């Protein structure tokens, strides 16, 4: 995965987040987070009791003030967690916005001339001329011309991309720049609706809505909060019955400590950070739901060409015909490829060098290079001594040999057919009237994919390769790549059928695509990752767009989605485990004076009821900012089966969530107990 952002958190982000933390104290913002809103109401109650302690018949103004201050910082820390996550998105949005400022466009008139206008004035259907060094003013389709386009403003990559009318490389994105030549573009979006505008809105978080998982967890937290409110309300008469007077501020503090404020304060920031984490790797998620769905993927459908394989057929083997040595076929194969700059020619030289054979290019400096053409279906060299060496298709080379009075080896046809059956491309090599052998070209599987597919299998994710190749070729590539299944001679409708079949079995399906014919399948899949270099139809159908146009990135996106879910689960586990420890800190300390037998539960040996409550309250506040880095960066994810992940998180965050508060509250109690005695508490 690629992380092209310079800094995780900057000083400006922290400064802005601190300011926003106080702005978010507005009740309209606070009520959006029910758990923290309860703490907010509690803070208001204790603040009123600080000023008017007689309302509840209490005289502990100092105690009420301390509780109010701690609750205030608890809420501010929770707001800070959300603000710092939003700040990172806003920083990315500012970078994207910079590509939109002061852009001019050459709006074409019916007579072919143009007038300069602001890009913001362009409407859907307008046609513009974009020449070298001009910025493309808005999303559109190339209708005329051919140009090299620098998409680094969007993708972060400096390598230009060729754009031309028709096909899968006709769409252009506003904010990118034409490097050479010219194109005429028909605008396909109205102002404010371009791909860049959508990116800015999504990255800023303005369009972020809670995901189903987040809503379910929020509902659980609200339910736990309601339960603890009922517990606290019931506790007051019970305390009176046993002769223990509990102040209202103490009940508020107890409630805030026992409700899941830790995850309540971090939940929003985890969701925002999930989308941000995807964006930092140059993938734009159209919703938080898409990122979350990645974490639940069961089946991954991958196109073969360009995703699993390089797409270019590269030299894999030199096969001599009967009566010819391997050295001879390698020698003449290399000579024909000296000036061949195609992937096939370069890979032939590289394969020969791997086998220990080299050709001195200077020896053939005066030789005539014959380029490949669609008519001749061959390429080669005409040497100074009159020798003519060729490599090419079986039909063209056999005709070439016969023209020179040569005979065709009896085993040549079988060797060519064997390569073709495997889905490879045979290049026959000959000199004048003699055939020397065949170069076996094959679509090579990308390095490292076998290991990555094995990791996906370990995670319980099934991989399915889709290809238009015949079943024999598909089986060969599938075995080499290590995918679990394949669909040969696959048509667009076959992809949709495969997705629907898996979904009917309750599976969550992900797939990649870039062409218009991929759009229906991208829309059908739970996670559709479209390539930015692809058509507008594909990008609109998908719920994620990869700005780098790297189809294999879906493997990384799945990891990010799983990391999001694991982070949310781990911090929820830690938060609830915290409550167990805080229960043992506060309840025994409150009742041990009236009920001496309960002292056995005072495991921490805290000094007094008030020091226990304030210590727990302080710990409850400071644990939120301490967990912000985990919420933003995510819990470290290792590919493994869900059962192992659950056991690992329970042992680390469950057990840790119980142990850490015991230690933290005890340390705080040791520090504040003497201070409380000094002020008479």
Active-site positions? Answer: 303
Burial of 253: CB neighbours in 10 Å, binned 0-12, 13-18, 19+: buried
Q: Report the length, in residues, of the chain.
A: 681
Q: Whole-angstrom Cα distance, residue 9 to residue 658?
A: 30
Q: Which residues contact 550 (CB under 8 A, 6 or more apart)?
A: 531
Tokens of 121: 């004035």
Angle between helices 261-279 and 61-97 (to 10 degrees): 10
d(CA 618, CA 52) in angstroms, rounded, equals 24
> What string of DSSP letters covers 126-148?
-EEEEETTPBP-S-EEEEEEEEE
CA dihedral 158, 102, 20, 208 (to 10 degrees): -60
State how far the alpha carbon of 111 is from the alpha carbons of 114, 141, 467, in Å.
Answer: 9, 20, 46
* Run of H or E residues at 392: strand 388-392
Helical pair 61-97 and 195-204, crossing angle rounded to 10 deg: 160
Which residues, at least 6 apart from 392, have a Cβ–Cβ distance to it below 8 Å? 372, 376, 377, 378, 379, 380, 400, 427, 428
Contacts of 323 (CB under 8 A, 6+ apart): 409
Within 13 Å, how many C-alpha atoms sit on residue 572's CB side?
19
Whole-angstrom Cα distance, residue 44 to residue 55? 14
Q: Would you give the DSSP letter of residue 321?
A: P
CB neighbour list of residue 260: distance below 8 Å, 6 or more residues apart:
35, 221, 224, 225, 572, 575, 576, 579
Which DSSP string corresponds to 151-192?
A: -HHHHS--S-EEE-SSGGG-EE-TT-EEEEEEEEEEE-S-TT
Which among 653, 646, 651 has a CA at the least distance from the CA of 630? 653
Residues 301 and 464: beta-carbon distance below 8 Å: yes
Contact 580, 654 (CB under 8 A): no
The SS3 assignment for 525 reads: coil
Do 254 and 612 contact (CB within 8 A), yes or no? no
Half-sphere CA count of 346, side-chain side, radius 13 A: 5
Question: Coil, strand, or helix at residue 268?
Answer: helix
Give the C-alpha separation, 78 to 528, whole Å. 33
Distance from C-alpha of 24 to C-alpha of 32, rounded to nearest angstrom = 10
**Signed CA dihedral, 86, 90, 96, 102: sign only:** positive
Q: Report the SS3 class of residue 390.
A: strand
**H or E element that contains 71:** helix 61-97
Alpha-carbon distance of 585 to 581, in angstroms, equals 6
Q: What is the C-alpha end-to-end distance of the chain, expressed in Å? A: 56
């Amino acid at each position: 995965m690629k992380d092209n952002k310079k800094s995780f958190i900057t000083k400006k982000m922290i400064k802005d987040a601190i300011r926003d933390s106080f702005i978010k104290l507005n009740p309209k913002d606070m009520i959006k987070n029910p758990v923290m809103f309860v703490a907010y109401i509690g803070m208001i109650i204790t603040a009123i009791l600080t000023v008017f302690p007689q309302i509840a018949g209490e005289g502990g103004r100092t105690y009420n003030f301390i509780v109010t201050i701690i609750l205030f910082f608890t809420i501010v820390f929770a707001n800070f967690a959300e603000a710092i996550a939003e700040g990172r998105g806003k920083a990315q949005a500012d970078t994207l916005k910079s590509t939109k400022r002061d852009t001019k466009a050459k709006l074409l008139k019916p007579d072919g001339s143009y007038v300069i206008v602001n890009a913001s004035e362009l409407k859907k259907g307008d046609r513009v001329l974009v020449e070298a060094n001009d910025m493309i003013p808005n999303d559109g389709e190339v209708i005329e011309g051919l140009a090299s386009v620098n998409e680094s403003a969007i993708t972060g990559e400096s390598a230009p991309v060729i754009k031309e009318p028709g096909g899968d490389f006709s769409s252009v994105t506003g904010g990118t720049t034409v490097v050479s030549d010219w194109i005429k573009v028909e605008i396909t979006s109205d102002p404010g609706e371009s791909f860049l505008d959508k990116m800015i809105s999504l990255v800023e978080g303005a369009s972020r809505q809670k995901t189903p998982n987040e809503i379910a967890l929020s509902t659980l937290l609200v339910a736990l909060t309601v339960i603890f409110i009922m517990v606290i309300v019931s506790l007051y008469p019970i305390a009176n019955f046993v002769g223990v007077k509990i102040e209202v501020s103490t009940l508020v503090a107890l409630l805030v400590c026992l409700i899941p404020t830790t995850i309540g304060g971090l939940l929003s920031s985890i969701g925002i950070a999930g989308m941000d984490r995807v964006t930092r790797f140059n993938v734009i998620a159209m919703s938080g739901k898409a990122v979350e769905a990645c974490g639940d993927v069961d089946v991954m459908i991958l196109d073969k060409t360009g995703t699993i394989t390089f797409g270019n057929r590269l030299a894999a083997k030199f096969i001599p015909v009967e009566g010819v040595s391997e050295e001879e076929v390698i020698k003449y194969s290399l000579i024909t490829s000296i000036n061949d700059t195609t992937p096939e020619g370069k890979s032939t030289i590289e394969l020969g060098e791997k086998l220990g054979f080299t050709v001195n290019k200077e020896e053939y400096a005066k030789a005539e290079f014959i380029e490949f053409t669609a008519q001749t279906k061959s390429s080669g060299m005409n040497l100074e001594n009159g020798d003519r060496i060729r490599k090419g298709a079986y039909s063209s080379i056999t005709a070439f040999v016969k023209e020179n009075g040569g005979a065709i080896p009896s085993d040549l046809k079988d060797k060519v057919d064997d390569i073709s059956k495997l889905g490879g491309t045979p290049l026959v090599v000959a000199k004048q009237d003699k055939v020397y052998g065949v170069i076996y070209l094959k679509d090579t599987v990308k390095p490292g994919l076998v290991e990555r597919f094995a990791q996906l299998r370990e995670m319980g994710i099934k991989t399915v390769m889709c290809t238009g190749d015949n079943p024999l070729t598909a089986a060969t590539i599938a075995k080499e790549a290590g995918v679990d299944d394949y669909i040969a001679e696959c048509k667009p409708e076959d992809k949709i059928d495969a997705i629907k079949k898996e979904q009917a079995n309750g599976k969550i399906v992900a797939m990649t695509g870039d062409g218009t014919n991929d759009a229906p399948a991208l829309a059908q899949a739970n996670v559709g990752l479209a390539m930015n270099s692809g058509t507008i139809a594909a990008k609109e159908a998908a719920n994620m767009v990869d700005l780098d146009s790297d189809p294999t990135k879906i493997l990384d996106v799945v990891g990010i989605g799983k990391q999001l879910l694991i982070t949310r689960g781990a911090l929820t586990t830690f938060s609830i485990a915290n409550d167990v420890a805080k229960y043992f800190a506060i309840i025994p300390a409150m009742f041990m004076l009236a009920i001496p037998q309960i002292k056995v539960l005072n495991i921490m040996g805290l000094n007094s009821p008030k020091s226990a409550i304030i210590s727990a309250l302080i710990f409850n506040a400071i644990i939120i900012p301490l967990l912000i880095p985990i919420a933003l960066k995510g819990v470290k994810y290792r590919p493994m089966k869900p059962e192992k992940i659950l056991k690992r998180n329970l042992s680390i965050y469950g057990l840790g969530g119980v142990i850490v508060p015991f230690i933290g509250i005890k340390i705080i109690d040791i520090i504040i107990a003497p201070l409380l005695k000094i002020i008479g508490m």
